[in-house]
């Protein structure tokens, strides 16, 4: 699916999973890229592959978005270069309950999942509004629709991303700028392995492919949606989450967590 805006896209977390998949889809559609992640070698390999396969330019920016310096480096690019599509994709989860985690671990999660999205949207938006065109996809999660993982603060961070994107998207759409929250369900990437989350007991039907997630996101962005939930099964799940009484949801969540071998309040 071609992006609705030609030009340059900046993608955070572009070396793996959903971010790398965005890079492949956008490069195939002829969009130039600025690729951001911490691992420089991996970034160079992705850039070389994409420029070798497609006639696009891909530049790389090594930045740790949990640090002030890393964030400032990406903000600088967004303020100084024309960026037509920003994909705020990099994110992490802790495999720990708030009852066990340290404040520093929680701050890492907040810096990457929330503050980086805030800073980079703030850096990209003024030029987009001034031009009357531009697009921002903030990668959130279906988990942000309700706190269904006892002890985990990840859903709270994603609830912020979804709500923030909807609010900014409502305000900017009349000025030609699209802002959309992308809310995938479980997607096969490196995400769970990085967090040390065991996925062995999760049924196959829960899993999405990153290609399908990105296809749906670009389609929904073009339609002007504020929130994109890829796949029929997760659309149904989100509707159920919204309709189920909170007390019932809390009971189901506690049971679900123990069935997956997780101790309530002890692990994510």
Ligand X SMILES: NC(=O)c1ccc[n+]([C@@H]2O[C@H](COP(=O)([O-])OP(=O)(O)OC[C@H]3O[C@@H](n4cnc5c(N)ncnc54)[C@H](OP(=O)(O)O)[C@@H]3O)[C@@H](O)[C@H]2O)c1
Give the binding site for ligand X (CB under 6 A): 12-19, 37-39, 42, 63-66, 89-92, 112, 139, 141, 184, 186-187, 189-191, 194
Q: How far apart are CA 194 and CA 94, in angstroms?
A: 9
Burial of 175 (0-12, 13-18, 19+ CB in 10 A): middle
The distance of closest approach from Cβ of residue 95 to ligand X in the complex, given in angstroms and rounded to an integer, is 13
- Give me the residue label for tokens 């929680």: 106
Continuous segment of H or E residues that includes residue 256? helix 246-259
Angle, CA of 64, 228 and 194, to the nearest 5° = 35
Contacts of residue 24, Cβ cutoff 8 Å, sequence gap at least 6: 50
Looking at beta carbons only, is 38 or 219 nearer to ligand X? Answer: 38
Looking at beta carbons only, is 64 or 106 nearer to ligand X? Answer: 64
- Give yes or no: 234 in active site: no
The distance of closest approach from Cβ of residue 247 to ligand X in the complex, given in angstroms and rounded to an integer, is 26
Looking at beta carbons only, is 16 or 168 nearer to ligand X? Answer: 16
Instruction: Point out the catalytic residue in the list 27, 128, 141, 154.
Output: 154
Looking at beta carbons only, is 85 or 92 nearer to ligand X? Answer: 92
The distance of closest approach from Cβ of residue 15 to ligand X in the complex, given in angstroms and rounded to an integer, is 4
CB 9 within 8 A of CB 84: yes
The distance of closest approach from Cβ of residue 219 to ligand X in the complex, given in angstroms and rounded to an integer, is 18
The distance of closest approach from Cβ of residue 9 to ligand X in the complex, given in angstroms and rounded to an integer, is 15
Task: Output the DSSP codes for 138-183.
Answer: EE--GGGGS--STT--HHHHHHHHHHHHHHHHHHHGGGTEEEEEE-
Q: How far apart are CA 175 and CA 223, in angstroms?
A: 16
Beta-bridge mates of residue 187: 208
Q: How far apart are CA 101 and CA 121, in angstroms?
A: 28
Q: Catalogue the active-site residues.
A: 154
């Amino acid at each position: 699916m071609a992006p609705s805006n030609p030009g340059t896209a900046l993608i955070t977390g572009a070396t793996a999973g959903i971010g790398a998949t965005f890079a492949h889809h956008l490069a195939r559609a002829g969009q130039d890229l600025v690729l951001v992640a911490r691992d420089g070698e991996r970034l160079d390999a992705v850039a070389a592959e994409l420029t070798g396969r497609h006639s696009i330019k891909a530049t790389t920016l090594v930045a740790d978005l949990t640090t002030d310096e890393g964030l400032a480096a990406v903000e600088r690019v967004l303020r100084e270069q024309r960026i037509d599509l920003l994909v705020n994709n990099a994110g992490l989860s802790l495999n720990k309950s708030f009852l066990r985690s340290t404040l520093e671990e929680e701050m890492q999660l907040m810096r990457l999942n929330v503050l980086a999205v805030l800073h980079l949207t703030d850096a990209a938006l003024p030029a987009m509004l001034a031009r009357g065109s531009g697009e921002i996809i903030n990668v959130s999660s279906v988990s942000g629709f309700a706190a269904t993982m006892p002890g985990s603060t990840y859903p709270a961070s994603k609830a912020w991303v979804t709500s923030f994107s909807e609010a900014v998207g409502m305000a900017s759409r009349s000025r030609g700028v699209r802002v959309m929250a992308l809310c995938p369900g479980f997607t096969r990437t490196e995400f769970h392995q990085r967090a040390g989350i065991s996925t062995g007991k999760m049924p196959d039907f829960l899993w999405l492919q990153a290609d399908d997630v990105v296809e749906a996101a670009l389609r929904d962005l073009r339609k002007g949606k504020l929130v994109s939930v890829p796949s029929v099964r997760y659309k149904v799940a989100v509707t159920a989450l919204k309709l189920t009484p909170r007390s019932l949801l809390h009971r189901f969540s506690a049971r679900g967590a123990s069935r997956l071998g997780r101790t309530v309040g002890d692990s994510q």
